[in-house]
Amino acid sequence: MKILITGIAGFIGSNLGERLISEGHTIIGIDNFDPFYDRKIKEKNIASLCQTSKFSFYEADIRDKSFLNSIFASERPEIIIHLAAKAGVRPSIQNPVDYYDVNVMGTLNILECMKDNGISKMIFASSSSIYGNNRKIPFSEADHVDNPISPYAASKKSCELLCHTYCHLHNFSINCLRFFTVYGPRQRPDLAINKFTKAILNDDIIPFYGDGTTSRDYTHISDIIQGVSSSINHLNGYAIFNLGESKTITLTNLILLLEKFIEKKANLNYLPLQAGDVEITFADISKAKTELDYYPKISMETGLQDYVSWFKNQS
């Protein structure tokens, strides 16, 4: 199958591209090397992909509809996996206009290019941030998600609504996958596990927001990739799936595990909880288990230990 992946040079995109090529697919990758973090990291992410004949790459911005249309028309992909987005809850509070421009208008461009080129299947990367401070746990796809607490979360909810609209109007089949805090090799440098690992190794001070009881459902990249890959074969109308570990760990316990595997103590600077941060994320994955055969395998302990080893080897 010929698959087009937006955001190919990112953490999830590069890992996904490698997995899908190993499964025999042909991959067209798009990325604009957004300066949110160092371009060299992203170039390194796709270095191995660029060495295979089953991969072609375009440096392109999803806001450039004309260029997107030319890629869709010439490459004729059978399915789109749309990962490209401006990421991060806290930066979205500082720059909401850009987040809506890229995430919402960019997604609308993708949908329009699909319509113009007769492509009807897409997997859209959504986010657990959509649930906001949902009081019911674990979070289910059937829960109301009308109370986002950051522009990033609101933009992802807007994209889900656009996807539903195009499924209704144009008979598309789209799976919206709500990722729960993905970690593992190539994790973005702005994310907690990466920042904490680097800080502990370098004896730097870690900003520690809140009292340590905030909890996250961390999901290993290999489990996320398995879920996305499986989703390709289960596209039938409009659907939403949680992809998480379905377990939580507090911020305090996360630091303790990292200290254990790094064999050094963390230097913490205790600060108030930041605006936009949710108190807990916790995925109900029963729907993904039943319909996608999604069964996460990597425990937090195993995943963190492997991540620390990988991180040290990058230095």
What is the reported pTM? 0.96
Round to whole Å and give the CA distance between 182 and 166.
28
Contact yes or no for 102/86 (Cβ under 8 A): yes
Q: What is the pLDDT of residue 278?
A: 84
Residue of 58, 99, 131, 152 marked catalytic:
152
CA 30-32-35 angle, to 5 degrees, is 145
Answer yes or no: is 148 within a domain.
yes
Q: What is the pLDDT of residues 181-197, one digit of tens each?
A: 999 999 999 999 999 99
Nearest to 258 by CA among 312, 222, 186: 312
Answer yes or no: is 213 within a domain.
no
Answer yes or no: is 311 within a domain.
no
Answer yes or no: is 312 within a domain.
no
Q: Domain total for the chain?
A: 1
Active site residue 152: yes
Position 74, amino acid: S
Q: What is the pLDDT of residue 289?
A: 98
**Is the pLDDT score of 274 beyond 90?**
no
DSSP string, 99-165: HIIIIIIHHHHHHHHHHHTT--EEEEEEEGGGG-S-SSSSB-TTS-----SSHHHHHHHHHHHHHHH
Q: What is the pLDDT of residues 203-221, one digit of tens each?
A: 999 999 989 999 999 999 9
Q: Which domain holds residue 23?
A: 2-180+221-244
Q: What is the pLDDT of residue 107?
A: 98
Query: Of all residues in the chain, what percent carry a pLDDT higher than 70?
Result: 100
Q: What is the pLDDT of residues 92-142, one digit of tens each?
A: 999 999 999 999 999 999 999 999 999 999 999 999 999 999 989 999 999
Answer yes or no: is 289 within a domain.
no
Answer yes or no: is 88 within a domain.
yes
Q: What is the pLDDT of residue 315?
A: 62
| pLDDT tier at 273, thresholds 50, 70, 90 | confident
**Is the pLDDT score of 170 beyond 80?**
yes
What is the phi/psi pair of residue 100, to 5°?
-75, -35
Q: What is the pLDDT of residues 131-153, one digit of tens each?
A: 999 989 999 999 999 999 999 99
Answer yes or no: is 215 within a domain.
no
Q: What is the pLDDT of residues 224-247, one digit of tens each?
A: 999 999 999 999 999 999 999 989
Answer yes or no: is 206 within a domain.
no
CATH number at residue 125: 3.40.50.720
Q: What is the pLDDT of residue 155?
A: 98
Q: What is the mean pLDDT of the chain?
A: 96
| pLDDT tier at 61, thresholds 50, 70, 90 | very high
pLDDT, mean of residues 261-279: 90
**Is the pLDDT score of 276 beyond 80?**
no
